[in-house]
Structures are given as C-alpha cells and as structure tokens.
Structure 1
C-alpha cells in the first residue's frame, strides 16, 4: 500500500473488491465492504486483508453501524456502485423515479444523509443523470461540493472501452477527478494478456485455475476459425451465420461473435465475457473466448487476485459475474489519487487540522 492518506472508507455494494483494492493501493484505509452476495466474501477478504466483509443488504444498515466503522482522526469516505437494473427496460422519456428498481440508489442517498461523511464517491452507468431519480439522488448532497463526469476508462489506464459515470462529493471544498493519465496512449489487449500461456477452449492452465476458457461447440469452433481480429460474423461462410443475424433486424448486432484486436483496448467486460457469442470476446489468435483470468486483467485486477479458494472448482457463471460487475481496480486508484489531490488543495487553503 502507498503512503497512507488521512481517509477511512466504507465501500457499499463492494462486490469482489475492485474499488476497495484500487483505493487501498493508493493509500485509502478501507475499513469494510458491504454486499448481499455471499459469493463476494472470499475474493474480497482474501485480497484486501484487514477490510471486513459484511454480508448485508445495504438497506438494512443503520447510520450508527456505518459511522462506527470510521475511526476518529480520519476523514470519512462513503464509496460504492449502487447496482441499477438494465436501462434498456425503460422507455425513452419515461419518468421512472418511483420505480422500485432504483431502491439501492435511494439507499445510498439515504445513507449519505444520515451519516454525513466528509467524502463520497460513486461509480455507475453513464445514462443515470438522464433519469429523474438522479435529481432526487443529488438532493442528498446539500452542503457538499460535487463533481461528476462520464469517464472513458481507457484514458485512465484501463485496457477496455468502458464508459462509466464517476461522482465525487466533499464537505471540505471543491473536488474533481484528476486529468486523464493515458490520454496519448491507451493500454491495449497485447499489453494486457499477450504474455499469458496458450490454452484451448474448454481447458485451463495447470498453474492458474482462473486462466480457464469455456468450452465451445464444433459450430462455434468453426465460426471462430473464420473470424478475424476486429471482424464479425459477416466474415463467415453463409451457412455458419445464425438465422437471427440473417434477418434485417439482426444485422446491427455485428459486435457479437467477434475477436479482439491486439492493438486496441478490449471491449467492455460484462458478466458473460467468457462466452464467444456474448460480444467481441474472442481471443485475437487462439480459437477460444477469453479466459476468466484475462477478463480479470482487463478489469485491472492484479494477476495474483484470487476469486476462489485453492482447490475449489471454478464456476464460470459465478466468477464471471464477480469480474464483470466489478469496478476496475485502476479506476479505484484514479479516484484515490483524486481524493489525495483534493486533500492537498484543502491543506493549502489551511483547512486541514
């Protein structure tokens, strides 16, 4: 861990610990992570020693419980990524502010009102500010200086095309995200995974159980053999193209069944990124989809990050969910560096004790 900052954090909706790990790498003292999913516990605790995992519904937490996790003498940071239901289910222009699917975002806002932490950060989907619920969310920040922006994550060193809303708030003064750290050269697929040993579809590496690729049918093996990096199913022999893609309504889905390119960032990692047919998740050269380890590296988890106990079988669906839902570790580092810069400015103004 880098030089410690005078900041203690509680990470709500912590998942497998991507945000926590990034914050800790840059010196923020994360005291606890909260998530209702029991599958998150091992990864969170095994890789973030000293941070408690609370298997709780955030809605059931009291302000006293959260406040009790913040030690005296440190600034309090409430962090999290409140999961929202897929935005595609909402009609354009529809007011969804009363929808129960926003309950976790409301829980986050309610916790801010009751705990009144010195600092707040949230990562979420870029579409969120377009919905009425976001105005309601912002009302919890009376007395705070706030900043928000849709971040192109590759400009900050995340090797994937990932757009996310980042929100920062402070009771200490103006706050903002630092300038892009990789504006001139984005990290690529080659930078991230080219050194890993070859494996075949359906196999795993003997020394890294997470470097495992999902099995593929003979049909999909033939499809990937005819796929070129950056191409699509439009490159295949006609008989290999799925019926749904032959129809006019399917012709816009050209990003599925694709290989990545070595010289570009990866596509956005999802919970099903280990499946060749779920996006442009084909390996650039090997006839398989990316492995779970490769997906984790694209999410900037270190190669040593553990998702399952030693000797336990790797469940693709569970681990894929943990990886795809995570905040990239590097984005957590960037948020921590932004808070560090913020505190430096506060100190310069003579506001720190």
Structure 2
C-alpha cells in the first residue's frame, strides 16, 4: 500500500488505482479532501507532521509532493534563500539529530515541509520496516529543488536504497501539457531509473529513436468537444500583450497552474469562447472528464495535482510493475 504525503486531489492515487495498488493520502487542504472523498480515495485530512510510519503500518511505499510555492519564481523566494539551510538540516536529520527547532525558525513553514518525506523514510528504517519504494516529485527550478532531491539520493543510498532523480516532462508520458517536474525514485529491491518515455517530446526536432514513441497527446485530444481553439494566457506577462502565451489545440497545453481559469479561449474563426471548466482543466492533467472536483477553489487543486499519466509512469518505474497491470482509468 502507498502512503501519499501532501496528496492533493488525487493524481498519484488515481495512478495507483489504475495500477491496482491500494493507497491512502494525507492532505491538509479541506477542499482537496472533499474532492478526494467524492472520488472514493482513502483520505486522512490533516498535517503530515502530525503522523508517521507507525500510524500506517500496512504502507510499504512512500510517496509525496511537498508544497512548492516557496521554491518557485512566482512564490516568496524563501525556498531559494533557505536552500543551504534546508540541505544542512537534511544531512543532520539523516544523522538522527533533532532539527525541529531549526525547521520552525526557517520562516515560511512550507519550505521545511520538503524534509518531511525524509523523516518518514528514516523513521520507517529505524523501526526496521523500511519502505520498499519511494516516489517524490516537486517543481524543477534550479538551483532550488533538484539539489534537495540530489542530496536525498545520497542519503537514501546510505540507507540501503538504489535511487535516482531527474527532471521529466509530462507530455513524454502521455499528459496533454508540457509540464516539467523534478522526480526522485528509490527502491530497496532492485535498480531504479527515470521512467521510460512513452510519448514524443514537444517543441524540438525528434531523434530517430523518438519517432518510435507514441504521438504527443495534445489539447484537442483531451478536449474533443471544443473544436479548433487557441488558449491565450496572461500569466507571467505583466499585462504586456506581446508576451502572452498562445497554444493551439493541436499542441499540448502549457503548464496547468491554479490560474488556468484566467486564460482566454479563442475559436479558429475568432470567436471568444467560454473559458475552461474545472472538468476541462482537469482533463489537461489527465483526470477523467467526470472527476468530482469539489470545494471552493478547484482551480488551485488542479494546478497542484500530479498529472495522472506521469504518476502512472513514476509508479511503474519505482514499483517494477509492468504495463500489463495497468487498467483503464475509472
């Protein structure tokens, strides 16, 4: 069973369901918990810091995507400024030092949450019930997040794991968007590497080998009822029309964020179209069209979610399961 920390609305848990692997998620946001429960996903509503491996003795796989706001350009920047502190605290935590006071003094408490999966992994190891696999993901801004995962790789190897980390692109695993994520995978019972790509990358010339991959999934595939359209985004433009991002439905979406509901949609004949619904935005993250988005702000839930196809790829690589076990989405 997978214990999923910072589980959000259920992207990784849906991937686990497709693979026939049971999971339970811990999530702090009550709206995301409402969505999860409506989708029939096992959920603990609470703070991951209040729990540990002993509370979930049946879980043998650890997963998590700690909050990333302080590690992003759009966030406060606390994660970037605190990087050296975070790395130092990770090493001390691996040495079994109590670093709770220092974590509390970092400032934005979300920054320290990136060390929670390490606490869980170490506590499980010390109880002589180590997780057989670990799957972690975060935003890939360098030099903020990837160095944390790189240090995790070293620390987990010292605990008996084979581990690897890197940056992956969601469209290369069948998601209809060009989202990049920093991923860490670890196993105790075999070698592990980044998930094997299944779909062609977008936006560059393909190598001969890449032509053998499946075609990129585009927005038109995920939203067939919309016809031809262009998404126009003001995100990150500062209001400058020349900087507005544009993606046609024959392309994958740009990274889906919690502001996707602000994007304009314009039909190929120039008509202004209704903006994306939560169901459509969720589809760009690989969620089923009938997924029961609930709560006050489904957009933020959708933007924070793990794309379901990427979750399937990461779980497949980390757990050593085969594609034959993958069932259709519920």
Provide the rounded CA distance (Å) in 2 between the counterparts of 1:306 and 1:91: 34
Distance change in 2, residues 1:232/1:301 (3 Å): closer
Q: Retained in 1: the 8 A contact 2:65–2:136?
A: yes
Does the residue aligned with 1:335 lie in a helix, a strand or coil?
helix
Instruction: Give the alignment partner of residue 137 of structure 2, picking from 123, 132, 144.
Output: 123
**Alignment map for 1:252-291 (pairs within 5 Å):** 253-255=243-245, 258=246, 260-276=247-263, 281-285=264-268, 286-291=272-277
Gaps of 5+ in 2: 86-105, 125-129, 201-210, 323-330
For the pair 1:107 / 2:116, whether they are aligned, the reply is yes
1:43 to 24, 32, 35: 35
1-structure distance, mates of 2:113, 2:44: 16
Gap regions ≥5 residues in structure 1: 1-7, 71-75, 199-227, 234-241, 309-313, 345-353
Secondary structure (helix, strand or coil) at the match of 1:274 reads helix
User: Counterparts in 2 of 1:21-32, with a 5 A limit?
Assistant: 21-30=14-23, 32=24
Within 1, Cα distance between the matches of 2:311 and 2:233?
Answer: 33
- Equivalent residues in 2 for 1:146-295 (5 A)? 146-183=163-200, 184=211, 185-195=215-225, 229=230, 245=239, 250=240, 253-255=243-245, 258=246, 260-276=247-263, 281-285=264-268, 286-295=272-281
TM-score under structure 1 length normalisation: 0.68
Partner of 2:310: 331
Are 2:72 and 1:87 aligned? yes
TM score, norm. by length of structure 2:
0.73
- Cα offset for 1:152? 1.2
Q: How many residues align?
A: 271
Q: 1:229 Cα shift?
A: 3.3
Q: Residues 109-129 of structure 1: CA distance to partner in whole angstroms, max 9, x if unpaired?
A: 111111121100011111266
Instruction: Verify the 8 A CA contact 2:71 2:139 in the aligned structure 1.
Output: no
- Pick aligned residue for 1:57 from 37, 47, 51: 47
Deviation of the 1:287 alpha carbon = 2.4
Q: What is the SS of the residue equivalent to 2:44?
A: strand
Give 2:2's match in structure 1, choosing from 1, 4, 9: 9
* Greater Rg by CA: 1
Query: Which whole-Å CA distance do the structure 2 matches of 1:320 and 1:194 have between them?
Result: 21
CA positional deviation for 1:282:
2.6
Q: Secondary structure at the match of 2:292?
A: coil
* Structure 1 SS opposite 2:67: coil
Deviation at 1:189, TM superposition (A): 1.2
> Please, which of 53, 62, 82 is the counterpart of residue 78 of structure 1?
62
Deviation at 1:42, TM superposition (A): 2.4
